[in-house]
């Protein structure tokens, strides 16, 4: 099918049958990329055709999370074939940088061009779901995605800390301003199960429900803190596949079902 395939101005235009879900957060470090990578692997394991565009300029980590950090897209004519990790087609801004610090200094137009290139030149073939890992906060990339993929749905990730709900709400509001539909909030780093059966609420409680209420969308899932999830991330081996019984893995697998 690649034969004869041509670059298009933008793949996944308004008439696309592909579901497009952008994952965003108010700030970094809340687990947005970890959830995106595991969600992608979970959806692929269910038999769906899945792609991830990693547009997190400052924290691009999807390739490492899906074990393809050393791979680059293959050029075929005017198109690029994306690396595949755990069944997920992955393209990352990190695959195009000469050095680790480059993207940080990119300005809006350069970022916009790169995202546009992902959407026009990367040969994803047919996809059921395209996940986008957006940079945290309210930046140029969110605005570009809003312009290029106005029909994308947005999921906001937050921690249970009530202060985090403020910034989460703001990122949801910006998504709406760019015309996208916020479909829900995912709370991550919720209570850590203890050996004695109790739960340690390291980051407090209520942030996810709070952000969801303020944005008037459902709280889609609450994902607990998990050693296995973190270790799987570091190893490039998604916990949803390696330890599907881990509580965090179960929560992400359930999220894949409700999405
Ligand atoms: P973001 O994309 O929001 O910047 P990351 O996905 O990079 O955040 O996660 C930040 C760090 O937190 C990573 O080291 C990741 O392994 C860890 N992490 C994310 N979610 C959890 C969780 N539920 N339990 C334990 N560690 C987590």
The mean pLDDT of 36-42, rounded to a whole number, is: 98
Tens of pLDDT, residue by residue over 169-220, are 988 888 888 888 999 999 999 999 898 989 999 999 999 999 999 999 999 9
**Is the CB of 222 within 6 Å of ligand 1?**
no
Of 230, 227, 221, which is closest to residue 250 (Cα–Cα)? 221
How many residues belong to the chain? 259
Please state, for a pLDDT cut of 90, what percent of the chain lies above it. Answer: 61
Q: Could you tell which of 28, 34, 160 is best to mutate to test the pocket of ligand 1, judged by most ligand atoms within 8 Å of the CB?
A: 34
- C-alpha distances in angstroms, 133 versus 118, 151, 154, 198, 228? 13, 16, 10, 33, 22
C-beta of residue 177 within 8 angstroms of C-beta of residue 170: no
Q: How far apart are CA 86 and CA 250, in angstroms?
A: 18
Q: 33 CB less than 6 Å from ligand 1?
A: yes
HSE of 159 in the Cβ direction (CA atoms, 13 Å)? 16
- What domains does the chain contain, in order, with CATH numbers? 23-258 (3.40.50.300)
Per-residue pLDDT, 104: 58
CB 219 within 8 A of CB 208: yes
236-248: pLDDT as tens digits = 999 999 999 999 9
């Amino acid at each position: 099918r690649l034969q004869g395939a041509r670059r298009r101005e933008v793949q996944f235009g308004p008439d696309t049958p592909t579901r497009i879900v952008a994952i965003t957060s108010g700030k970094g470090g809340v687990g947005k990329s970890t959830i995106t990578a595991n969600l992608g692997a979970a959806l692929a394991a269910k038999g769906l055709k899945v792609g991830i565009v990693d547009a997190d300029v400052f924290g691009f980590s999807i390739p490492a999370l899906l074990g393809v950090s050393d791979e680059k897209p293959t050029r075929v004519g005017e198109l690029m074939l994306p690396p595949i990790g755990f069944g997920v087609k992955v393209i990352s801004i990190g695959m195009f940088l000469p050095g680790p610090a480059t993207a940080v200094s990119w300005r809006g137009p350069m970022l916009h061009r790169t995202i546009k290139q992902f959407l026009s030149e990367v040969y994803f073939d047919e996809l059921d779901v395209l996940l986008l890992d957006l940079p945290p906060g309210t930046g140029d990339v969110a605005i570009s995605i809003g312009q290029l993929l106005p029909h994308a749905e947005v999921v906001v990730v937050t921690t249970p800390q009530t202060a985090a709900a403020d910034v989460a709400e703001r990122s949801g509001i910006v998504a709406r301003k760019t015309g996208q539909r916020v479909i829900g909030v995912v709370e991550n780093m919720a209570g850590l199960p203890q050996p004695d059966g109790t739960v340690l609420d390291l980051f407090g409680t209520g942030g996810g429900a709070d952000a969801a209420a303020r944005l008037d969308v459902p709280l889609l899932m609450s994902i607990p803190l998990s050693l296995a999830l973190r270790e799987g991330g570091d190893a490039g081996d998604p916990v949803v596949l390696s330890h599907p019984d881990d509580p965090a893995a179960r929560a992400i697998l359930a999220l894949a079902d409700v999405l």
